[in-house]
Amino acid sequence: MTFNGKVAVITGASRGIGRAIAQTLAARGADVALTGRDVDALRETAALCANARPGATAEVFQADVTDRDAVEGVVADVMQRFSRIDFAISNAGQSIDALVLRLKSETIDRMLDVNLKSAFYLCAAVAKPMMKQRGGAIVLMTSIVGMSGNAGQAAYSASKAGLIGLCKSLAKELGSRNIRVNAVAPGLIETAMTETMPDAAREFLTKQAALGRAGTPEDVSRVVAFLCSDDAGYVTGQTLVVDGGILM
């Protein structure tokens, strides 16, 4: 599973799962374009990618992924720099929890903008060069909450469920051009997003997992690498659950 000569665009690459994905792809030979708003954190990711493989190329492309023009600008810049895009990973995400009776309109908008609409923008932008290349792989980062729902996370859950529908629709739209579109649904993963989770909730989810532990960002990044690879060459429109057995 090597990606020599391949180029990957990763949103939300400043930390957590996005950072792990960048490191994993870089270690296996890919040049990585790191996208997000926090330039300093993205530079830290770039340094880690450079350490993951001698000669690895990791470059920072700052953008607000909720801005369609900004996302299209990043893709244009990446094409100018690398002349191709083989993998696009829509990983940018945010969670704001609230009971539906207390959900503010701006919270709903924020969840849809960051978690769902940003993926639309990235997919539309990378589809053009991938269609010309007649090949590529897109991976959308959803969540098991988008499959099961969760009290207090209606907006987050709905935005993540939307990604599953987007995945299936794009797989049908782009399959004839040899572009595969899949999604990954993590469960409890040790990231900054889950650090503030109440201890009781963390303990409950850990006990629900058949493997008896929380996952790591690397548990997710290796699945993303598989979906990008030729080993998954006949896999499209699928959502792979990476949750240690919580949803069984």
As annotated, the active-site residues are 156
Report the candidate in 163, 153, 158 with the shortest Cα–Cα distance to residue 205: 153
Tokens found for residue 83: 């002349």
- Helix (H) / strand (E) element for 218: namely helix 217-228
Asked whether the beta carbons of 193 and 248 are under 8 A apart, the reply is no
SS3 7: strand
What backbone phi and psi angles, to 5 degrees, belong to 138?
-115, 135
Tell me whether strands 58-62 and 31-36 are parallel, antiparallel or unpaired: parallel
